[in-house]
Structure 1
């Protein structure tokens, strides 16, 4: 089977209190569809957890406006650790999660009225689109960007889900071997080097950066591709400072953005292509893992600076858990979208006050 990338499935966020975070993201970012909650031992992640398997609880939350989900992730067998330095833009790893808005100025006003910690004024990015940056309750930075596509428009929040990330890099050309050549982000929206107005207010935001915004020229295919929608990766390279690794001397799952995850089918074909480009799997569940309410195969690679990219080949996904309605993705055409009415049934898993 050839590789099929459906889109960004989720961004992983290491936090100290999974239920408090889930409620905050529901109320302020509209991430109100609970796909699963699972407690287990992360046995396969020992290359990134000090050689020892640790327990964790994870919640996957989605937004019916579309976009990827939040995998809200908390250690339960140890205390998750912060970095021993403050993040500066351009540090190596996922600096910022991108979420889409149906009306960026309107979202700015809503978040300001709600008393959220907005870091930057409403400002245009180098492509000429309004955006702004906001901190969540644990200090993670999110960029609110103009949505290019929405699965549903009439939802409680003006924001949708994840449409990408800003990733720190030491060599953007090297990084593009993974993001452009393998993952299909072949369209350069902008490639500029400057001190940027829309970064002012961010940690290190006054510095000069090379910023390269990448999108995919080909529409994504596969079961949930219409739900995930078009996505983007922004690679940034700080010019006059030595960047630090955000997870140096820490474990995957510690505090901050821990990975960016792509929904794929044809994992073996993807493995072959990644290896031929110099990105071998560092973790591979090989057979189907079971997360209680969902199942599949998951793998990880590192980009040239060690940022973790996850791939999930979904085998089973819950649509309406209460009545035991699950979809077996292994019996479907991997390039075919699931019907909209079927994905829309996820709304029955909405979390409410």
Structure 2
């Protein structure tokens, strides 16, 4: 059958205070469904944590408007370290998270009334779609993008994760990871120059090559209806030498730590990425049938793209449905295909107000 990519499950966001962060993202971005919370030791991430297991605390938060979730992540065994330099557009790795909204103007007006740190007005990207940028309280940059797909209308003006803006060193070296492994086979635009719609972002006065990638197909995994469509914008700065966003720091330190995809077919994926020259750097399924995350379980793996971006793959085995009754869903015992919509409605029982 091969590997099936079902959509962006979550964007990892490293923070300094996990409860404060969950409250902030819940209030401003509508990420109010707490799928799981766990404090534990990150024992399998040694290639990205200087060879040492690291204590951490993580919360997976979702927004029923649709889109991927946030894996809010805090080092608890060491002091989380911010970058020692100002991040600039084109620096290597995940520079910005993309959030979806069905109404860009409404989202902009709402965030402006809340006095959030808006970096720009509403502008138009090279695809002709409206968007704007803002920073959260942790200095992370977010792009709010126009996307009409709504899974379940909520009070929130934005949905969940729609994709990411990723700085690359060499566009041609990085494209195969996103086009071939992640299946973003449609080029929405590939343009070079200076761009007015990037104004307000640090380093935006430079010259760039921008490539926006989309899927030409609609995924049909168990959670695909909630994840919805996604896109990836790769951005190569042409007139300066970029720096690695995680230079001198560890995975899990503040910022965007990884981009995670829900998949089926971990064993097939292991062979595919190895053949393409991007073998797993972390592979939970190599040593155990399933990885227990407390309220959820599954297998996970990572690859590293040429520019340094960590991409996680999760094959979900179990998720909580009604925590107070101890109900969970065993995905290993159901036929492939999307979950019924009524089942997603149970997620609302995990809403934190």
TM-score past 0.5 threshold: yes
Report the equivalent of 1:257.
256
Give the one of 313, 318, 321 matched to 2:315: 313
Deviation at 1:221, TM superposition (A): 1.7
- What is the rounded CA distance, in whole Å, between the counterparts of 2:320 and 2:186 in structure 1? 34
Report the equivalent of 2:67.
67
- What is the rounded CA distance, in whole Å, between the counterparts of 1:217 and 1:82 in structure 2? 37
Gaps of 5+ in 2: none
Gaps of 5+ in 1: none
User: TM (normalized to structure 1)?
Assistant: 0.98
- What is the rounded CA distance, in whole Å, between the counterparts of 1:54 and 1:244 in structure 2? 25
Runs of 4+ in structure 1 over 2 Å off:
none
Q: Indicate whether 1:330 and 2:332 are aligned.
A: yes
Q: How does 1:110-129 map to 2 (within 5 A)?
A: 110-129=110-129
User: TM (normalized to structure 2)?
Assistant: 0.98
- What is the rounded CA distance, in whole Å, between the counterparts of 1:66 and 1:318 in structure 2? 18
Report the equivalent of 1:77.
77
Report the equivalent of 2:300.
298
SS of match in other structure, 1:176 = helix
Note the alpha carbon deviations across 1:233-280, whole angstroms, 9 max, x for none: 000000101010111221100110000000011001111111111110
Q: More displaced, 19-28 or 144-153?
A: 144-153
Deviation at 1:333, TM superposition (A): 2.4
**Count of residue pairs the alignment pairs up:** 350
Deviation at 1:148, TM superposition (A): 3.7
Deviation at 1:37, TM superposition (A): 0.6
SS of match in other structure, 2:45 = helix
Q: How does 1:48-63 map to 2 (within 5 A)?
A: 48-63=48-63
SS of match in other structure, 1:230 = coil
Deviation at 1:2, TM superposition (A): 2.1
- What is the rounded CA distance, in whole Å, between the counterparts of 2:283 and 2:177 in structure 1? 18
Contact 1:148 1:230 in 2 (8 A): no
SS of match in other structure, 1:330 = helix
Contact 1:264 1:313 in 2 (8 A): yes
Report the equivalent of 2:346.
345
- What is the rounded CA distance, in whole Å, between the counterparts of 2:41 and 2:223 in structure 1? 27
Q: Indicate whether 1:223 and 2:225 are aligned.
A: no
Q: How does 1:175-324 map to 2 (within 5 A)?
A: 175-286=174-285, 287=288, 288-324=290-326
Deviation at 1:331, TM superposition (A): 1.4
SS of match in other structure, 1:278 = coil
* RMSD value, Cα: 0.8
Report the equivalent of 1:168.
167
- What is the rounded CA distance, in whole Å, between the counterparts of 1:148 and 1:273 in structure 2? 33
